[in-house]
Structure 1
Amino acid sequence: MLKEKIKALAHTIAPELIGIRHHLHANPELSYQEFKTAAFVQEQLTQMGIEFEVKATTGILATIKGNNPTSRIIALRADMDALPIQEENNVPYQSQNEGVMHACGHDVHTTVLLGAARILNELCAEWEGTIKLLFQPGEERNPGGASYMIKDGVLENPRPDGIVALHVHPGLDVGKLSFRKGRVMASADEIYITIRSKGGHAAAPHLTADTVLIASHLIVSLQQIISRNNSPISPSVLSICSIQGGNTTNVIPSEVKLMGTFRAMDETWRYKAHELIRKQAIGLVESMGAEIDLHIDIGYPTVDNDPEFTEAAWQLANDFMGKQHVEETELRMGAEDFGYYTQVIPGCFFRLGVRNEAKGIIHQVHTPKFDIDESAIEIGAGMMAFLGISLTK
């Protein structure tokens, strides 16, 4: 039975995959700088005899053909970039690149897809259709590597009938998966604000506009946009995450910079909120005597799992894992550039459990102590291969 062959292969290659993950984790690269990572992935694909093309500078599109390759086409995607975080884990595979860490699990995603590639390639005489493997750069940074991959034609010639990706989930125990149909993640936009005045002596605030005071008023004021303009049953978040200005006790700085993020589950409200942010910020700052530069960098769209395609993947996961090991994913205000793919073709973005409290593996993504229970790699590789083969039917 093909399912059992996939599980057996995943188990056999699991130690090698863990070694691959250790190499990737120890050598992280930031968004759009994944040159060594891409070269390593290309080397692995070459060893497997899998054809590939370089896309979007540091991205890779690999293709595996089964029998009757034009019958149905499925894409499987993994992201490869790391984050500007200093790792605090004391492990043999700790990051060797100062200030850079695979703190979001993209090393795991890449490893899982390489494992799936090996399984698919070894069993290519036993399934039909074509599977496209997308190793993608730049998921962590606007405008998102997915947008560049799409522009470079990865969803064309031939066009996939659907696309699947997974993401590690430190809130879900290892040995479990989770799925959700419909909208599953929020849009994400970046906000950059600079408040300017001529600056002055702290003892004479009446002779200038107090940029620090204005910034504090603005931060509080912007929260009203969410609480008093958006429907309370439509999730939305506005967070100012950085304040930069001043460097001593007795000088009102001539410039204060703010940075933040805006998330929404409703695309109509998303763009209405942009206008409200602009109106509120410009009006408040100018009314207090300062000048303002404001830029909203449009980021990722919502991630929308196609209901029918995701239902099919969910049922396949029940079959592969056992229904008791598959849950429903919670709605999340996090964002993912996988949303670009789901705007073009049906998609399914699901979660891979990596938590193990007994081993102390409890830390969230985007933190210096994030890690995984590596038994999840075998599960992820087998599941992705099984989905790719089964969804081509």
Structure 2
Amino acid sequence: MNIAETIHRQTEDVYTEIVRHYQYLHRHPELSYHEENTSRYVADFLEAEGISFRRNIGGNGLLAWVQGTKPDNGHTVAFVADMDALPVQEKNEIPYKSVHKGVMHACGHDSHTASLMGVAKMVHTLRDELAGRVLFVFQPGEEQSPGGADLMLKDHLFADREPDFIVKQHAYVDLPAGKVAFQTGTVMASADEVHIKIIGHGGHGALPHELNDTVLAASNVIVALQQIVSRRRNPFSPMTLSFGKFIAPGATNVIPDEVVLAGSLRCMDESERFKMCKIIPDIIESTAAAYGCSCQVAIPQGYPCTVSHEDITAQVRAQAVNYLGEENVAEYPRRMTAEDFGFFTQKYPCCFYRFGVNNAQQTCGKLHSSTFLINEDALKTTSALFAFIALTSFLK
């Protein structure tokens, strides 16, 4: 049996169905931890196909599996797709435009889920070629802490059978459809939110000697925290600390009693991450005190770094070259964005690769934007390559 040719034929057979799943999901997006309809849609599909699954894992998550009919060799590979959308108002004028005001699949999770549905169907059809088990993880809540990956793992996602390794793919606007890209090591940063409240005794802006200037204190907190990145971190470890929220509900002549700040700490090294999470509150407290203010600081546990295991990534990349050709396999740059797939990479050997979704006109829009829209040809690559990986890894 020529696996590549068989998968190519299978992909052609199910492609129209995968596109239909994608367009339905795009039309009916749901925010993190509210993926009830999406989860039900996937469950109904799995049930109709006769594919075994468990539901309500870590919330709206599902785990499906296909057991090979050959004698079980004990090997298991898992594939992950996220299901949640973003709070974005879609501007694309298409027949399957989001019907939910202010909610949109602006990160490609609809394509991830639809692709994995197609892969599950193909692998189930070809189960006579398997001697192990393939797991399909449909994950909620990737876009918002605490992270659906963490919740599913804590809810004993792999209680019945743990994977030898896990693979996830993600939409990538910098490549055209039909191409994929790989990277090894720490490929994305950790992400921890920093929430701050500066508390003082406000009053009339013309009488600064009679009050505690919370706005000035908060401003200097931000300046002081930026010096952490330049003076306290290991200079060989990339890090960013950015604040996008500064709420001072006063007026031109009113200093408020409280100022609220919120930002994000991104690190490419877990030890540096934990060190900074201890230093940051100390800096905030001492800076606020210098202006006669007190503070409240919260840094809830966020996402860890995402790591692509060197050996597993080399294996999956070789499979991609084998199926797609060397000319369709590239390398993507490391960056300070984050993924809750990092929770999986902390526990298991993993590969995180990206698939191109653009077209010749480069008009797909940016990720997380109101005009993001994939080239549907990408769905052939996403489904076929996952199926090829499943059938050629070690499941003979």
Q: TM-score if structure 1 supplies the norm length?
A: 0.97
Quote how far apart the aligned CAs of 1:206 are.
2.0
Residues 242-391 of structure 1: pairs in structure 2 closer than 5 A: 242-358=245-361, 360-361=363-364, 363-391=365-393
CA distance in 2, matches of 1:216, 1:359: 40
2:38 counterpart residue number: 37
Residue 211 of structure 1: CA displacement? Answer: 1.6
Matched ranges for 1:1-393 at <5 A: 1-54=2-55, 55-66=57-68, 67-358=70-361, 360-361=363-364, 363-393=365-395
SS of 2:299's equivalent in the other structure is: strand
Kindly state the Cα deviation for residue 324 of structure 1 after the two structures are TM-superposed: 1.0
Structure 1 CA distance for aligned equivalents of residues 303 and 145 of structure 2: 8
Bigger Cα displacement from structure 2, 241-250 vs 184-193: 241-250
Give me the CA root mean square deviation: 1.4
Q: Deviations over 1:240-266 (max 9, x none)?
A: 011112153322111111111101011
How far 1:210 sits from its partner (Å)?
A: 1.7
- Tell me if the contact between 1:240 and 1:261 (Cα under 8 Å) persists in the aligned partners: yes
Structure 2 counterpart of 1:366, one-letter code:
H
Whole-angstrom CA distance in 2 between matches of 1:243 and 1:371: 32
Q: Provide structure 2 residue ranges, at least 5 long, that are not aligned to the other structure.
A: none
Q: Which amino acid aligns with 1:386?
A: F
Secondary structure of the residue aligned to 2:300 is strand
Which deviates the most, 307-316 or 227-236?
Answer: 227-236
| Matched residue type, 1:348 | C
CA distance in 2, matches of 1:271, 1:338: 19
Kindly provide the amino acid, as one letter, of the partner of residue 381 in structure 1.
S
Aligned residues of 2:112 and 2:169 also touching (Cα < 8 A): yes
Check conservation: 2:88, 2:370, Cα contact below 8 A: yes
Q: Distance in 1 between matches of 2:224 and 2:73?
A: 56
Distance 1:16 1:247 in 2: 55
How far residue 279 of structure 1 moved from its aligned partner, in angstroms, is: 1.4
Q: Deviations 1:298-321 (Å, cap 9, x if unpaired)? A: 111111111111111110000011
How high is the sequence identity, in percent, across the aligned residues? 40
5+ long unaligned stretches in structure 1: none
SS in 2 for 1:330: coil
**Aligned partner of 2:382: which letter?**
G
Helix, strand or coil at the partner of 2:143: coil
Runs of 4+ in 1 over 3 A off after TM superposition: none
* Partners of 1:194 and 1:257 within 8 A in 2: yes
SS at match of 1:342: helix
Matched to 2:388, the amino acid is F
Residue 138 (structure 1) shift: 0.8
User: Which letter does structure 2 place at the counterpart of 1:330?
Assistant: P
- After TM superposition, give the deviation of residue 366 of structure 1 in Å: 1.5
- Separation in 2, partners of 1:69, 1:102: 38
The Cα of 1:359 is off from its aligned counterpart by 5.5
Count residues with an aligned counterpart.
392
Query: Any conservation in 1 of the 2:268–2:305 contact (CA below 8 Å)?
Result: yes
The 3-state SS of whatever aligns with 1:171 is: strand
CA drift of 1:128 comes to: 2.2
**In the alignment, is the contact (CA less than 8 A) between 1:128 and 1:389 conserved in 2?**
no
How many Å apart are 1:70 and its aligned residue? 4.4
Name the TM-score, length of structure 2 as normaliser. 0.96
- Give the conservation status (yes or no) of the 8 Å contact 2:129–2:391: no
Contact 1:62 1:133 in 2 (8 A): yes
Query: Please, which moves more after superposition, 229-238 or 323-332?
Result: 229-238
Structure 1 contact 185–265 (Cα < 8 Å) conserved: yes
